[in-house]
Amino acid sequence: MKYIQSSQNPQVKQWKKLLTKKERDRSETFLIEGFHLVEEALKENQVVEVIISEKIGMPSRLDIGSASVTMVTEEIADSLSDTETPQGIYAVCRQLKTDDGVSNAKTFLLIDAVQDPGNLGTMIRTADAAGIDAVIVGRGSVDVYNSKVLRSAQGSHFHLPIIRGDLENWIQELKEKNIPVYGTALEGASTYTDIPAAESFALMVGNEGGGINKDLLMKTTANLYIPIYGKSESLNVAVATGILLYYLKK
Amino acid sequence: MKYIQSSQNPQVKQWKKLLTKKERDRSETFLIEGFHLVEEALKENQVVEVIISEKIGMPSRLDIGSASVTMVTEEIADSLSDTETPQGIYAVCRQLKTDDGVSNAKTFLLIDAVQDPGNLGTMIRTADAAGIDAVIVGRGSVDVYNSKVLRSAQGSHFHLPIIRGDLENWIQELKEKNIPVYGTALEGASTYTDIPAAESFALMVGNEGGGINKDLLMKTTANLYIPIYGKSESLNVAVATGILLYYLKK
């Protein structure tokens, strides 16, 4: 096992760069933190290397497989964390390539410009729970490999393909494959319970404040609405996603 | 309009004390921040006084009604905020008394030990949207008047009664009124779609990690389960609440 003591070590500098979207995109990797996430990533063979603080030592119940392991000082380990109570365990993981495992997908979640990392992560976790085949994240959303998105998704990044793409193109492609695309909107929309549950569909949800871009809404098969029975103005976007996915999924 | 320049002013000290649960409980008031929340509170006549930073001045479109208004320096205003970008407007509001408006309530959300303020606030907002009549929050949950809970609930605190109470007593009382109480559990539970939607029901949800206390689960009418179709271990508690409330509500 390698052991690194200097925060000036080039490998430490490279790990820290993974805290930026730019370097994650360039290297097609990302950094995860915490025992649960590392365990999920190892299970799914997505890990390039594991980084462990000498303070915690090698957890005996972790099945490392073929991943390399590096031990580092507590100071280096903490410098890779954005939480207040770092767990001392990290992994560098591979990003899935754009078209891995989606050619046969029948159910999709399309996400337009969701900006809160907790919301985006929770939506990915919810899509996973609902058995959705792929998540497509459009422009204007927070980066899917942002550390808070990863934390909120609780490992679902390793369970289903999460693809960054142009939603306009995706809507067109899905419709050509006879997969209905449902937007969510407050005006000119049908109550969601008017739509039948189905074996294949794509649900599109949008920005916390403004909803889905109007140009995209005009291209959908139909647009849905969740009735508000009380006095609140709207639902949280992750909650709305859960209600709709569990309703639509056959 | 009063104008306060000194952070040593006793009234400023009193407002700051409202950042603690202890003082909120003693005074039966709480502090809200931001234009949207203050507007909602004024609409529902829950405001004791409005506090405005001299930096923003009195917003012309705010209908103050009978509430008193105090102008303060930007420094004082910012000291009342726990956000990074304070909006410069606050209000001291009355807490609803325990039994306001629940004697005729037919639908309830019972919350056992939910600790994340964002989750609790989102659950209150979701209960409001679903037209639930009252929210009962048991011991071990984050304070319902915590500033992050208030922010996530987006004004729903002013739309429906939110009551702190003993869940065991509540379950018994509801059952005596022939209102079925549904817990949520992973074991020994029915798939939620096996339960019919109804005019009256109480849904109980629990802690993010451990779920509902086992003693409470044994006292319910039935316990429900949301199937997980993918590989995630569970759903976020606010998302689960949304799926179940929108399913159960007739």
Residue B222 belongs to domain with CATH number: 3.40.1280.10
Taking CA–CA distances from B232, the nearest residue in chain A reads A129
Token couple for A177: 């494959």
Tell me how far apart the alpha carbons of residues A201 and A110 are, in angstroms, rounded to a whole number. Answer: 11
DSSP string, chain A: -EEE--TTSHHHHHHHHTTSHHHHHHHTEEEEESHHHHHHHHHTT-EEEEEEETTT---TT---TT-EEEEE-HHHHHHT--SSS--SEEEEEEPPPTTTT-TT--EEEEEES---HHHHHHHHHHHHHTT-SEEEE-TTSPPTTSHHHHHHHTTGGGTS-EEE--HHHHHHHHHHTT--EEEE-SSS-EEGGGSPPBSSEEEEEEBTTTBS-HHHHTTSSEEEE----SS-S---HHHHHHHHHHHHB-
Residue B115 in domain: yes
pLDDT band at A99 (very low <50, low <70, confident <90, very high): low
For chain B, say whether A228 makes contact (Cβ under 8 Å): yes
Evaluate if residue A119 carries a pLDDT over 80: yes
> What pLDDT score was predicted for residue B19?
95
**Residue where a domain terminates, one of B38, B64, B94:** B94
Cβ atoms of B12 and B76 closer than 8 Å = yes
Same domain, A118 and A150: yes
Tell me how far apart the alpha carbons of residues A53 and A76 are, in angstroms, rounded to a whole number. Answer: 8
Please name the residues in contact with A233: beta carbons below 8 A apart, sequence gap of 6 or more.
Answer: B154, B155
Please name the residues in contact with A57: beta carbons below 8 A apart, sequence gap of 6 or more.
Answer: none
Residue B243 in domain: yes
Evaluate if residue B114 carries a pLDDT over 90: yes
For chain B, say whether A211 makes contact (Cβ under 8 Å): no
Tell me how far apart the alpha carbons of residues A165 and A170 are, in angstroms, rounded to a whole number. Answer: 7
**Which tens digits make up the pLDDT trace of B68-113?**
999 999 999 999 998 889 999 999 999 976 666 688 999 999 999 9
Percent of chain A with pLDDT over 70: 98
Flag if A235 and B242 touch (Cβ within 8 Å): yes
Collect all residues of chain A within an 8 Å Cβ-Cβ radius of residue B243.
242-243, 246
pLDDT band at A11 (very low <50, low <70, confident <90, very high): very high
> What pLDDT score was predicted for residue B102?
86
Q: What is the pTM (predicted TM-score) of this model?
A: 0.95
Same domain, A113 and A74: no
> What pLDDT score was predicted for residue B99?
64
Query: How many Å is the Cα radius of gyration of chain B?
Result: 20
Same domain, B133 and B232: yes
For chain B, say whether A234 makes contact (Cβ under 8 Å): yes
Residue B185 in domain: yes
Tell me how far apart the alpha carbons of residues B71 and A156 are, in angstroms, rounded to a whole number. Answer: 49
- What's the mean pLDDT in B198-222? 96
**Residue where a domain terminates, one of B71, B94, B117:** B94
Percent of chain B with pLDDT over 70: 98
Residue A231 in domain: yes
> What pLDDT score was predicted for residue A100?
61
For chain B, say whether A131 makes contact (Cβ under 8 Å): yes
Residue B26 in domain: yes
Evaluate if residue A97 carries a pLDDT over 80: no
Same domain, B130 and B21: no
Phi/psi of residue A182, each to 5°? -105, 120
Count the domains in chain B.
Answer: 2
**Which tens digits make up the pLDDT trace of A204-241?**
999 999 999 999 999 999 999 999 999 999 999 999 99
**Residue where a domain terminates, one of B94, B122, B151:** B94
Note down the domain range covering B80. Answer: 2-94
Flag if B232 and A129 touch (Cβ within 8 Å): yes
Task: Give the residues across from B70 on adjacent strands.
Answer: B2, B51
Tell me how far apart the alpha carbons of residues A26 and A18 are, in angstroms, rounded to a whole number. Answer: 10
- What's the mean pLDDT in A89-105? 84
Same domain, B10 and B117: no
Question: Position of tokens 């495992």?
Answer: A101
For chain A, say whether B234 makes contact (Cβ under 8 Å): yes
Interface with chain B: mutation pick from A224, A236, A245, A247, highest number of B CBs within 10 Å: A236
Tell me how far apart the alpha carbons of residues A210 and A213 are, in angstroms, rounded to a whole number. Answer: 8
> What pLDDT score was predicted for residue A208?
94
* CA atoms in the 13 A half-sphere facing the CB of B96: 21
Residue A124 in domain: yes
Please name the residues in contact with B105: beta carbons below 8 A apart, sequence gap of 6 or more.
Answer: B133, B134, B161
Evaluate if residue B214 carries a pLDDT over 90: yes
Evaluate if residue A26 carries a pLDDT over 90: yes
Evaluate if residue B140 carries a pLDDT over 80: yes
> What pLDDT score was predicted for residue B65?
83
DSSP string, A121-179: HHHHHHHHHTT-SEEEE-TTSPPTTSHHHHHHHTTGGGTS-EEE--HHHHHHHHHHTT-
- What's the mean pLDDT in A54-66? 84
Tell me how far apart the alpha carbons of residues B40 and B18 are, in angstroms, rounded to a whole number. Answer: 19
Flag if B230 and A129 touch (Cβ within 8 Å): yes
